[in-house]
């Protein structure tokens, strides 16, 4: 924050970011206040009580706030002021604004930095409770720091960007059938896989788990195991190497192996089926009871 203030004291204040607004119902998951939807709501400046500012700095924020456009009722907005890159860390200054006629308290919220072409340039979850209570119909300046790991683009434009709330969407977990399976499997078998995936409880948010679908030794005593790899994350994941073990109905480990995978991606909120072949030399038990069994990744052993 101080670096921005110093620059503004030394020269003209230039607002380089744009504004994004969402309904309070979408963001806060609460019913909107009944009001005239055509009303313009001007937000009064509200400074964080923990900030210690000189009169000159308060004037800068008041000037910036006065330049902001009015909101419509029941809106929460982010109005970008300025950003700068320093030591691979991106510092973003913005106003958080509310047109609600009541105090607003924020929680952990994912913010997106979006470029002029709509590309997401950075994504990070912030604890917005640290901002304190935002008074009714007010606007509060806040600084946001994006670490290198949260940056999704190499080049960050200095103008035309905007900060936005990532709204939670109800995602339906679905089957992502590899192209090779679409070619090889009859339509009826593909539909069965869709039905199985739909019948299973979806993974928890952020969870990746494995569901054993079929285990069959072939005539050469190799073990063919078909597994559903289930990604409950909101991001695609890449798997390059996967160590797996199989347990039978008695709880015994009957096979262990590590598999190299080429360009193997599990898309966000999807399940991908895959068949792994354990050569007979990797089998650890002669008599196997597959009336119940499970597959699991092998954890790194110290």
Place of tokens 């313009």: 40
Average pLDDT rounded to a whole number, residues 155-165: 93
**Residue 302 pLDDT level (bands cut at 50, 70, 90):** very low
Residue 167: per-residue pLDDT: 84
Task: Evaluate whether residue 302 is within a structural domain.
Answer: no
Q: Which of 165, 199, 229 is the last residue of a domain?
A: 165
How many angstroms separate the CA atoms of 137 and 23, rounded? 14
Q: Which of 127, 145, 165 is the last residue of a domain?
A: 165
Residue 26: per-residue pLDDT: 82
Task: List pLDDT tens digits, range 120-153.
Answer: 999 999 999 999 999 999 999 999 999 999 999 8
Residue 34: per-residue pLDDT: 66
Average pLDDT rounded to a whole number, residues 239-248: 95
Check whether residue 151 and residue 33 sit in a common domain. Answer: yes
**Residue 6 pLDDT level (bands cut at 50, 70, 90):** low
Q: In Å, what is the CA distance from 19 to each residue of 36, 69, 70, 79, 165?
A: 22, 9, 11, 4, 11
Residue 169: per-residue pLDDT: 62
Place of tokens 């670490």: 147
Residue 24: per-residue pLDDT: 86
**Residue 172 pLDDT level (bands cut at 50, 70, 90):** confident
Check whether residue 61 and residue 112 sit in a common domain. Answer: yes
Whole-model pTM above 0.85? no
Check whether residue 77 and residue 33 sit in a common domain. Answer: yes
Check whether residue 149 and residue 25 sit in a common domain. Answer: yes
What percentage of the chain has pLDDT greater than the value 70? Answer: 90
Residue 4: per-residue pLDDT: 61
Cα angle: 96, vertex 100, 105; to 5 degrees: 60
Check whether residue 14 and residue 139 sit in a common domain. Answer: yes
**For helices 55-66 and 2-10, angle between their N-to-C axes, nearest 10 degrees:** 80
Check whether residue 290 and residue 215 sit in a common domain. Answer: yes
Q: Answer left, alpha or beta for residue 123, where phi above 0 means left and psi between -120 and 50 means alpha.
A: beta
Check whether residue 9 and residue 127 sit in a common domain. Answer: yes
Task: Evaluate whether residue 246 is within a structural domain.
Answer: yes
Average pLDDT rounded to a whole number, residues 248-266: 93
Check whether residue 197 and residue 159 sit in a common domain. Answer: no
- 274: which strand partners? 227
User: How confident is the prediction for the chain on average, in pLDDT?
Assistant: 89
Between 13 and 243, the higher pLDDT residue: 243
**Residue 35 pLDDT level (bands cut at 50, 70, 90):** low
As for how many domains the chain has, the answer is 2
Check whether residue 186 and residue 275 sit in a common domain. Answer: yes
Structural domain including 200 reads 174-297
Range name among 161-175, 196-210, 271-285 with the lowest pLDDT average: 161-175
Residue 230: per-residue pLDDT: 96
**Which stretch, 232-236, 244-248, 284-288, has highest mean pLDDT?**
244-248
Q: Answer left, alpha or beta for residue 186, where phi above 0 means left and psi between -120 and 50 means alpha.
A: beta
Residue 53: per-residue pLDDT: 84
């Amino acid at each position: 924050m101080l670096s921005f203030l110093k620059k503004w004291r030394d020269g003209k204040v230039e607002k380089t970011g744009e504004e994004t607004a969402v309904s309070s119902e979408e963001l806060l998951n609460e019913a909107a206040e009944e009001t005239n939807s055509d009303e313009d709501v001007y937000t009064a400046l509200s400074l964080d009580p923990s900030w210690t500012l000189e009169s000159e700095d308060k004037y800068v924020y008041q000037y910036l706030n006065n330049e902001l456009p009015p909101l419509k009722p029941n809106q929460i907005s982010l109005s970008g002021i300025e950003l700068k890159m320093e030591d691979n860390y991106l510092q973003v200054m913005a106003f958080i604004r509310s047109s609600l006629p009541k105090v607003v308290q924020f929680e952990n919220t994912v913010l997106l930095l979006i470029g002029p072409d709509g590309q997401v340039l950075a994504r990070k979850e912030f604890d917005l409770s640290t901002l304190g209570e935002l008074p009714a119909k007010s606007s509060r300046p806040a600084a946001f720091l994006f670490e290198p790991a949260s940056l999704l683009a190499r080049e960050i434009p200095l103008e035309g960007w905007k900060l936005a709330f990532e709204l939670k969407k109800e995602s339906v977990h679905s089957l992502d059938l590899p192209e090779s399976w679409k070619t090889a499997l009859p339509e009826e078998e593909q539909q069965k896989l869709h039905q199985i995936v739909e019948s299973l409880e979806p993974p928890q948010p952020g969870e990746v788990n494995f569901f054993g679908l079929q285990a069959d030794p072939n005539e050469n005593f190799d073990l063919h195991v078909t597994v559903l790899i289930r990604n409950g994350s909101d991001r695609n994941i890449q798997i390059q190497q996967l160590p797996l073990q199989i347990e039978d109905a008695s709880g015994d480990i009957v096979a262990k192996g590590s598999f190299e995978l080429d360009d193997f991606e599990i898309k966000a909120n999807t399940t991908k089926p895959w068949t792994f072949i354990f050569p007979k030399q990797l089998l650890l038990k002669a008599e196997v009871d597959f009336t119940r069994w499970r597959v699991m990744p092998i954890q790194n052993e110290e």
